[in-house]
Amino acid sequence: MADAAKLNQQLSKIARMLNDVRETLFECSRESIKGEDNEWHKAEALFSLAKSVDGLRRQTLRRARRIKRITRTIKFEGAR
């Protein structure tokens, strides 16, 4: 059980870190079009990366929720 709880904590931590990466990529994307060069291709590439990171973050959160649900089920069935 302790291993599942630790894994869940680690996955949650990774999701928070991925959220920071996503937000930073979005910010960089916005900044790349503010300059005089208006580098839309860079902005689009950064935006695409941010979306990919968001997908990974969502997958990580789903996995963490699944582990939490499984752990609760095991605890409940063990209490019977």
Question: What is the spatial distance between Cα 76 and Cα 39, in angstroms, rounded to a whole number?
Answer: 55
- CB contact set of 22 (below 8 Å; sequence gap of 6+): 50, 53, 54, 57
Does residue 79 lie within any of the structural domains? no
- Answer with the residue of higher pLDDT: 75 or 49: 49
Number of independent structural domains in the chain: 1
* pLDDT grade for 78, boundaries at 50, 70 and 90: low
Domain span at residue 48 reads 2-74
Look at residue 80 and tell me if it is in a domain.
no
> How many percent of the chain have pLDDT more than 90?
57
Q: Give the position of tokens 């894994």.
A: 7
Q: Is the pLDDT of residue 1 over 70?
A: no
Task: Decide if 32 is inside a domain.
Answer: yes
**The pLDDT value given to residue 80:** 57
With cut-offs at 50, 70 and 90, classify the pLDDT of residue 11. Answer: very high
